[in-house]
Each structure stands twice: as C-alpha cells, then as structure tokens.
Amino acid sequence: MGDSRRVPDRPGGGRLTGRRAAAVGAVLGGASALVLALGTAYLWPLFLFPLILATMLFFEIGSVAVTVWLVNFLVLYHGFRAPASAAAARQAVLGTALFFAAGLFLGRVQRHHRRKQASLAASSLSDRLTGLYNYGTFVDYLHNEVTKVDRYGGELSLIMLDLDHFKLFNDRHGHEAGNALLRRLGATLRETVRGADVAARYGGEEFAVLIRGDEQRGYELAERLRRAVAATPVDGRSGAEVSVTVSAGVATYPAGAADEAQLVRRADDALYESKRRGRDRVTIHTGAEAAVPVPESLSA
C-alpha cells in the first residue's frame, strides 16, 4: 500500500470567507458596474450566478465553460437580429473579457481555499511526525469498524507494535535520531499495510494497525512489519547505522474480544508478552485471559 490514510470528506470546501470574499465581491461588482455602463445591463447579470457556481465547483475550468456559453449566447443573439454595430461588438468583447477575468480570479481563490481546507482537515487527523493517523482518529476508526462487524459480520485484527529499547536509543543517539527513527517506522507502516487497512501512531513509540481479517492475517502482517524494521538500519549518532527491532501483539474481534476496549487491551497484553519473552517477536492473544506464544502453524 502506498498510503495507509483514508481521509474523510473535506469540510466546508465551497465557502469563501473574510478578505477573499470581499475581494471576490469587489471584482464582480466592479465588472458588473463597468458592463452596466457599457449598455448591456439586460444581459450580464444573468451569467453571474452560473459563473460563481461553476468556479466554486470546477475552479478555473468552470469559468472557461461559462464564458464559452456566454460567447455562444452572444453569437446566437446577434444571429437573430440585425448585425451588431462596431460599438456593440466592442462592448460584448470587453464585457466578455472582464467576465472571464473575474471568473479566473474566482476560480483561483476557490482552488486555494479548497487546498487550505484539505490541508487543515488532514493535519487534524494525522500525527505530524510520522504522517500516520493520530490516536483520536484511530479510536474513531476502530469504533466504526467494530460497529460494521457487529452489523454485517466479518473479523478484525488489531496489531499493536512498540519499538524495543527506544529510551535507550534516545539516550545513546539523541532525540533527533529518535524522531528520525519514528518517522522511519511510520514510512515502513505506510509502505507495508494495504489501502483498506489503517495505521496510526498510538502514543510515544507505540503504533497500531487495524485490518480486516483473522488472527493469521494479523500475525502475517505483524511478522512482515517486524522483519522490515529489523532489516532497515537507521542513522545513529555521528552517522553510524544502528539496527532496531519492534515487538508486536495481535488480537481479533469478535473471536478474541467482546468489544473494542477489550480488543485494545488484549492486543496490548500480547505486545507486552512479546516484550517479556525477549522482544523482537509477535504474540497472538487467543481470547483467553493470558496471551500465548504463536502456534506452530503460524510460526514464521
């Protein structure tokens, strides 16, 4: 998968506010006043609403489409009456040019506004350091997925991962190297999980991956992630390459947990069982009160 993030629909993309709205109003008002002074008051206001709507929905290409419509209207209009005078032709050309310029300006402002809104929406959902979902977004996603399983059936597997000896790494190589390590793990998660799955920074050096599938699929993905991290050294102090490892725990819903809170607890229990057993390994929680080692049938 190229990106583990599925960002919800962008909020408020169609609205113009503040100084931009005032600027757009001034441009449209000025253009309308000018074409009114040129003697075409009966025509131009009819196209202002389609222009605004088109630029809000389709940006600059919308203003091009509405301007072409206007030109066709003018051609047809003059085709059914006496040929236009040179003065009327100049008025139409100038009015259309002003109309087109206002549309391009509107489209550019609206495009910039949409991009800013999308950026704000994405930043509120993701962890700035790793680029993965943040804790709050992950909790909401987990709740929604558990609700879907309750309604439609299926299975979920939750993988909790934790960097081994992260505090020691920070002490030896510095916090900047620690941040680089977290970014590297975030990139590994994005590259390894599928588009249908979600990966998040759960907190500190702990990460979570939620996938559709049973414990075997969860274990296989956790093993791929564990191996990918171990095979990718990172830069430590003075540029020296350092190998790091992760421990992981897997739990499933509904077979191994009664609700989403218990699913998180049991995946976390399995993670700390991996830590207890020596780190750099994956443990599956079977739904019993204690996490158990990986069955032979699922061993790597």
- CATH code, residues 135-298: 3.30.70.270
Q: How confident is the model at residue 224 (pLDDT cuts 50, 70, 90)?
A: very high
> Quick check: 257 pLDDT over 80?
yes
Which percentage of the chain shows pLDDT scores above 70? Answer: 69
Q: How confident is the model at residue 202 (pLDDT cuts 50, 70, 90)?
A: very high
Q: Write the DSSP symbol of residue 227.
A: H
> Quick check: 9 pLDDT over 60?
no
The pLDDT score that the predictor gives to residue 292 is 47
Query: Partners of 246 in the beta sheet?
Result: 163
Q: Write the DSSP symbol of residue 166.
A: H
Please choose, from the candidates 136, 161, 134, 156, the residue with its C-alpha nearest in 3D space to the C-alpha of residue 145: 156
* Beta-sheet strands, E only, within the chain: 156-163, 198-203, 206-212, 234-235, 241-242, 246-253, 282-284
Average pLDDT score over the chain? 78
Please choose, from the candidates 232, 235, 245, 217, the residue with its C-alpha nearest in 3D space to the C-alpha of residue 161: 245
Catalytic, out of 60, 145, 155, 205: 205
* Domain coordinates in residue numbering, the chain: 18-125, 135-298
Pairing of strands 198-203, 156-163: unpaired
Which percentage of the chain shows pLDDT scores above 90? Answer: 40
CA 164, 166, 168, 169 torsion-angle sign: positive
The pLDDT score that the predictor gives to residue 49 is 65
> Quick check: 10 pLDDT over 50?
no
The pLDDT score that the predictor gives to residue 60 is 76
Torsion-angle region of residue 201: left (phi > 0), alpha (psi -120 to 50) or beta?
A: beta
Query: Partners of 161 in the beta sheet?
Result: 207, 248
Asked whether 245 and 226 are in contact (CB, 8 A), the reply is yes
The two tokens of residue 76 are: 């047809």
Locus of tokens 């962890």: 127
Establish whether 145 is a catalytic residue.
Answer: no
Phi, then psi, of 234 in degrees rounded to 5: -120, 160
Q: How confident is the model at residue 128 (pLDDT cuts 50, 70, 90)?
A: confident
* Beta-sheet strands, E only, within 138-287: 156-163, 198-203, 206-212, 234-235, 241-242, 246-253, 282-284
The pLDDT score that the predictor gives to residue 296 is 40
Displacement of CA 220 from its chain's centroid (Å): 26
Indicate the SS3 state at residue 268.
helix
Asked whether 264 and 237 are in contact (CB, 8 A), the reply is no
The pLDDT score that the predictor gives to residue 50 is 72
Choose between 42 and 103: higher pLDDT: 103
**What tens digit of pLDDT does each residue of 46-102 get?**
666 677 777 767 777 777 777 777 776 776 666 666 566 676 677 667 777 777 777
Pairing of strands 241-242, 206-212: unpaired
> Quick check: 1 pLDDT over 50?
no
> Quick check: 298 pLDDT over 90?
no
Q: How confident is the model at residue 8 (pLDDT cuts 50, 70, 90)?
A: very low
The two tokens of residue 170 are: 């920070």
The pLDDT score that the predictor gives to residue 144 is 94
Choose between 139 and 20: higher pLDDT: 139
Indicate the SS3 state at residue 83.
coil
Please choose, from the candidates 158, 277, 293, 141, the residue with its C-alpha nearest in 3D space to the C-alpha of residue 217: 158
Asked whether 200 and 132 are in contact (CB, 8 A), the reply is yes
The pLDDT score that the predictor gives to residue 12 is 41
How far, in Å, CA of 284 to CA of 235, rounded? 31
The two tokens of residue 133 are: 């979902």
Q: How confident is the model at residue 228 (pLDDT cuts 50, 70, 90)?
A: very high
Asked whether 54 and 66 are in contact (CB, 8 A), the reply is yes
Largest CA distance in the chain: 93
> Quick check: 113 pLDDT over 60?
yes
**What tens digit of pLDDT does each residue of 141-191 get?**
999 999 999 999 999 999 999 999 999 999 888 888 899 899 999 999 999
Query: Helix 45-79 crosses helix 18-37 at what angle (to 10 degrees)?
Result: 30
